[in-house]
Amino acid sequence: MDGSAGNGECSSEISHAVQCPETALICTTALICTILGETHLVTNGFAKAIVLDERGLELYEGNGDIRGQMITLYRLGSCHRSLGNYKKAIVRFKNVRKIYVNYTASPVRKPLGEDFMEVVLASLGKCYTNVGQNHKAIETHKRCRKLAEARKDSGRLAVAKSCENLGQAYSETGQFNTALDLFQQANLIAKEENCHGLPDEQVQMRNIGHVGLMLFALGQYRTAILQFELAMQQAVS
C-alpha cells in the first residue's frame, strides 16, 4: 500500500468522540470500526478491513464527519487496490478528492497530514495505470506533483516520487524520452536530499533502475548497462 494516510489517526478520533457527547455512541462505534479496520489493513486482511470500513463510513456519513469519511474512503481505496479491484478503488479515491474541497473550505476543521491529498492522488494515478487509462494517470500525477511543489522544502522528496510516478505513466504510453527526463529529475532530487540529511536511498536506487530501463527502450544499450550496474552498486552498498 502506498503512503500511510490515516495511520496514527485513532488517538485524535478518540478526542473527537469525547467532544461529541450528543453523538457519543455513533462516534465510539465508528472509532471501533476504524481501529479494527486499521488492524486488519496492516495485517493484510483486506476483505475484513473493507467490511469494517464500509460500516465506519456509514456512521461517519450519518454523523457528518467529513474528515472521518475521507480517511476511511482512502483506506477502502487502498484495500480494493491491494485486492486488484482497481475500478472500485478509483471510485473511493475520487470520492476523497470530491469531498476534500468542502473540507478545506470549512472554517472549523481538524488537520490532516500535509501530504494527505498527495498520497490519495498518487494511489488514484496508479489505479488509472492499472486499468489502462494512461492519460488520466498522467494528469493525476501532474496534480500530485503540483501539490508537492507547493510545499517547497518539505515536499522535495514528494516531488521526486511524483516525478517517478509520472515517468512510469509516460513509459506506459511509449513516451520514453519524456519518462527518461522525469526519472532523471527524480534521481537528482533524491540525491540532493541525501546530501541535505534527508536520505531516501530507495527512491534514488529505483530511479537509477528506471533510467536504465528507458535507455534500454531507446536502444542506448551500453549506457543502460552502466545504469543497471550503478543500481546494483547502490543496492549492495
pLDDT at 94: 96
Sheet strands (E) in 46-135: none
Q: What is the pLDDT of residues 26-81, one digit of tens each?
A: 566 666 666 666 666 666 778 888 988 898 899 888 888 888 899 999 999 999 99
* Number of residues that this document lists for the chain: 237
pLDDT of 122 strictly over 80: yes
Range in 58-62, 99-103, 141-145, 148-152 with the lowest mean pLDDT: 99-103
Q: What is the pTM of this model?
A: 0.78
Say how far apart CA 124 and CA 141 lie, in whole Å: 9
The pair phi, psi for residue 83, each rounded to 5°, is: -90, 0
pLDDT at 64: 84
- Nearest partner of 49 among 67, 32, 33, 27, judged by Cα: 33
pLDDT at 228: 86
pLDDT of 156 strictly over 60: yes
pLDDT at 155: 74
- Nearest partner of 134 among 196, 178, 76, 186, judged by Cα: 178
Displacement of CA 192 from its chain's centroid (Å)? 22
Task: Show the CA angle centred on residue 101, arms to residues 100 and 105, nearest 5°.
Answer: 110
Contact 228/218 with Cβ under 8 angstroms? no
Contact 53/33 with Cβ under 8 angstroms? yes
Find where cell 536504465 sits: 212
Q: What is the pLDDT of residues 186-230, one digit of tens each?
A: 988 888 876 555 556 778 788 888 998 999 999 999 998 998 888
Work out the percent of the chain whose per-residue pLDDT is above 90: 42
Q: Which residues make Cβ contacts (< 8 Å) with residue 117, sequence separation at least 6?
A: 96, 97, 100, 147
pLDDT of 118 strictly over 90: yes
pLDDT at 115: 86
Cα atoms found within 13 Å of the Cα of residue 216, Cβ hemisphere only: 11
Count other C-beta atoms under 10 Å from residue 74's C-beta.
25
pLDDT of 1 strictly over 50: no
Range in 23-27, 54-58, 110-114, 119-123 with the lowest mean pLDDT: 23-27
**What is the pLDDT of the chain when averaged over all its residues?**
81
Count other C-beta atoms under 10 Å from residue 215's C-beta.
21
